[in-house]
Amino acid sequence: MGQHDTPNISAVKLYCAKCEDIYNPKSSRHASIDGAYFGTSFHNILFQVYPPMVPIKSTRRYEPRVFGFKVHAAATLMRWQDRKRDDMKIRVKGAGLETGFKEEETELDDEMEDDDM
């Protein structure tokens, strides 16, 4: 995706739909491609045209590890972010909107199975 719609401002970037973040590509080949060719809304339009390509959001967080041991320096920040996410889910559910998180779908499926019994 591009970060600008005006040519010759920045090179193309890689967009991760799972974590919704932008990355610099490793290949030097991508550095010569202008981001304006794709524009700032390429990924949004792509997912509107092909909805099955949208990845299911997960509530499982990335846990950094060194030699298999968890790195705990970011634990406080992660707990704070988890609390804020839970608060946001409550507000969104109160507004009657779907959040698109994976655990909600499984909860709805469980509720439907209970109703069938």
The total domain count for the chain is 2
pTM as predicted: 0.47
Q: List the alpha helices (DSSP H) in the chain.
A: 42-49, 75-94, 102-116
Q: Give the per-residue SS3 of 65-98.
A: EECCEECCCCHHHHHHHHHHHHHHHHHHHHCCCC
Q: Are residues 41 and 71 in the same domain?
A: no
Beta carbons within 8 Å of 104's beta carbon, 6+ residues apart: 98
Task: Residue 14: count other Cβ atoms within 10 Å of its Cβ.
Answer: 13
Looking at the domain assignment, is residue 2 inside a domain?
A: no
Closest CA to 57 of 12, 95, 88: 88
What range does the domain containing 39 cover? 14-53
Per residue in 3-53, pLDDT tens?
A: 878 888 888 888 888 877 888 888 888 778 888 878 888 888 888 899 888
Q: Are residues 49 and 89 in the same domain?
A: no
pLDDT at 73: 66
Beta partners for residue 101, in sequence order: 57
Looking at the domain assignment, is residue 76 inside a domain?
A: yes
Q: Are residues 48 and 70 in the same domain?
A: no
Per residue in 39-49, pLDDT tens?
A: 888 888 888 89
Q: Are residues 27 and 47 in the same domain?
A: yes
Of the pLDDT bands very low, low, confident and very high (cuts 50, 70, 90), residue 111 is low
Per residue in 52-89, pLDDT tens?
A: 888 887 777 777 777 888 777 667 788 788 889 888 88
